Structure 1
Amino acid sequence: MDAVEEWRAAYGRVTDLVGSLGAEEAARRVPACPDWTVRDLLSHMIGLDADVVAGDEPDDHNSTWTQRQVDARAGRTVGELLEEWRSLVGPLTGWMQEFTTRPLGDLVIHEQDLRGALGRPGARDNAGLLSLRDRMLGRFEARLGAARPIALYGGSWQWCSSGPASDAEVVVRASEFDLARALMSRRSAAQIRRWTERGDVAPYLPAFETLGPLPADELDD
């Protein structure tokens, strides 16, 4: 996977997605980020890239840092935000080529968050998303600790924490996309329970909190 090209592709999809939004759509709440509107989330995405290029990126991506990105862009239109983002493409892709392609993960996650808010599904099967799924799978496995084996079945893709999947204590089966989003803390405990076809998934739910608490409400994107 060429991660920089995947970033460019995701950037193009998001700018197409939000480029013609009216004020009402831009003011919609984002179910996956309920404290933010679509415009707020876009402000964070752009602000993160600006801060990365400027060398202002804490290890924990804490809420004070992310909210500052939103507050600094309060009152700007979507068009003005996209103009700032366009100015960052060259510097950010150059930074990724020199250092790390980590910013791709944030863009991949929030593209789907935006799609969920706007009711415009898409981009559910691309190299960037699958790469991030595998990265989050590493976090998920580390959070399992000494728990007995759990298996995830997603269409043609499957994974087990230990040994053959057929022997797993708990089996969770859903679409590959839903499992990927669950590993990004973007599916509720109720959804994960509903997809569990064997065993008690309750003790394993904290392992799905790779990026924070699971949402209270069910999410589709």
Structure 2
Amino acid sequence: MATHPLPPESLRDLAEAYAGTFKAVIDLGFTCHDEDFALETDCPGWTVKDQFSHVAGVEAAGAGVHDPQVSVPDYPHLRHDFAREIEKAVEVRRPRTGSQVVAELQRLLPDRLAVLAGEDLEPDTVLTGPLGEMPAVDLLALRTVDLWVHEQDIRGALGRPGNLDSPAAALFVSKVLAGFPGRAARKAGLPVGTVVILESTGPVTAREGIRIVAGDDPEKPLAEPLFSGDSDGHGYPESVTTIRLTTEALTRLGAGRKRADEVHYSVEGDDDVARRVLDVLTITP
């Protein structure tokens, strides 16, 4: 998989991507009027203010400041226990104004940067995040992606697109494409011999190709890299489908915020194969 710009991998680069995305979220908050905070976003059940509240809750917990316990109503958008747990940070901030939540984020930023961008931090330093303990390099990647996805949620509601060519954008694109082979093999129901190429046309450009091959279990086909060998040796014909879509469209699908019929994409090959792939690209919980 080739991605341009390259996604951040080192601790330093991830720390810079995290800091830049965190600041972008706060900057968006400063531009919001009261009516902006009430706008619905592509994240089911959440307004713009709720997006800021979620980020504030996660980052506050990372700084060791834990929210008081709160009872969460049975909102229709809560489909599992993890979603209910995440909702607590949003619920506890409902009595606050959007500006107050953004101010909380501004207060948190220096402490979070001091910890996650500190000179004494090593890639394998174990830190506690929203999913439990993990190495610092993994936590920074997780937090950068989460912040960027919610930044895009906010931008979409406000009609202010941006930051689609950032290191955080490249990181999320790389994660969507990394998840594409397994999801295409396990969930898309593609026949053996199918070849699919998935391409992000920009601002982040990336391309990944796979071939569906038979596994040891006939009911569980596998995906192999497209250029790993000559298809003739497999004893089955190939059909090739190329799917092209923008970085924004790809990442909205990858975040589970849009369905295939809600984004623009182009197909060379089999439209049904393309739709099956696009329907299973979501990598967020």
Q: Residue 268 of structure 2 aligns to a residue in which SS?
A: strand
Question: Normalised by the size of structure 1, how large is the TM-score?
Answer: 0.81
1:173 to 244, 250, 253: 244
* 2:282 equivalent in structure 1: 209
* Alpha-carbon contact 1:151-1:159 (below 8 Å) kept: yes
* 1:183 equivalent in structure 2: 254
- 1:114-158: per-residue Cα shift (whole Å, max 9, x none)? 000001111111111101211222222222226433211233532
Deviation at 1:84, TM superposition (A): 1.6
Question: Normalised by the size of structure 2, how large is the TM-score?
Answer: 0.64
* Alpha-carbon contact 1:151-1:168 (below 8 Å) kept: no
Residue 116 and residue 193 in structure 1: after superposition, are their counterparts in 2 closer, same or farther (change >3 A)? closer
Q: CA RMSD in A?
A: 2.7
C-alpha distance in 1 between matches for 2:206 and 2:176: 15
C-alpha distance in 2 between matches for 1:133 and 1:16: 23
Q: Residue 91 of structure 1 aligns to a residue in which SS?
A: helix
User: Equivalent residues in 2 for 1:70-85 (5 A)?
Assistant: 70-85=90-105
Q: Residue 171 of structure 1 aligns to a residue in which SS?
A: strand
Residue 178 and residue 203 in structure 1: after superposition, are their counterparts in 2 closer, same or farther (change >3 A)? closer
Whichever residue aligns with residue 52 of structure 2, its letter is L
C-alpha distance in 1 between matches for 2:159 and 2:263: 22
2:198 to 149, 152, 176: 152
- 1:97-117: per-residue Cα shift (whole Å, max 9, x none)? 542202111111011110000
C-alpha distance in 2 between matches for 1:193 and 1:168: 23
Gaps of 5+ in 1: 213-221
Q: Residue 208 of structure 1 aligns to a residue in which SS?
A: coil
* Alpha-carbon contact 1:172-1:196 (below 8 Å) kept: yes
Residue identity over aligned pairs, in percent, reads 24
Residue 63 and residue 16 in structure 1: after superposition, are their counterparts in 2 closer, same or farther (change >3 A)? same
Residue 4 and residue 74 in structure 1: after superposition, are their counterparts in 2 closer, same or farther (change >3 A)? same
Q: Which runs of 4+ in 1 moved over 4 A?
A: 191-194
* 2:45 equivalent in structure 1: 35
- 1:137-188: per-residue Cα shift (whole Å, max 9, x none)? 2222222226433211233532212315xx7632111223322333333332
C-alpha distance in 1 between matches for 2:264 and 2:107: 44
Residue 192 and residue 12 in structure 1: after superposition, are their counterparts in 2 closer, same or farther (change >3 A)? closer
Gaps of 5+ in 2: 1-7, 67-79, 122-135, 211-224, 228-237
C-alpha distance in 1 between matches for 2:149 and 2:96: 23
Residue 173 and residue 191 in structure 1: after superposition, are their counterparts in 2 closer, same or farther (change >3 A)? farther
1:117 to 137, 157, 161: 157
* 1:129 equivalent in structure 2: 169
C-alpha distance in 1 between matches for 2:248 and 2:48: 22
Whichever residue aligns with residue 39 of structure 1, its letter is K
Q: Residue 44 of structure 2 aligns to a residue in which SS?
A: strand
C-alpha distance in 1 between matches for 2:195 and 2:116: 36
Higher strand share: 2
Q: Residue 157 of structure 1 aligns to a residue in which SS?
A: strand
Larger radius of gyration: 2
Deviation at 1:52, TM superposition (A): 3.0
User: Equivalent residues in 2 for 1:48-67 (5 A)?
Assistant: 48-54=58-64, 62-67=82-87
* 1:20 equivalent in structure 2: 31
Residue 94 and residue 124 in structure 1: after superposition, are their counterparts in 2 closer, same or farther (change >3 A)? same
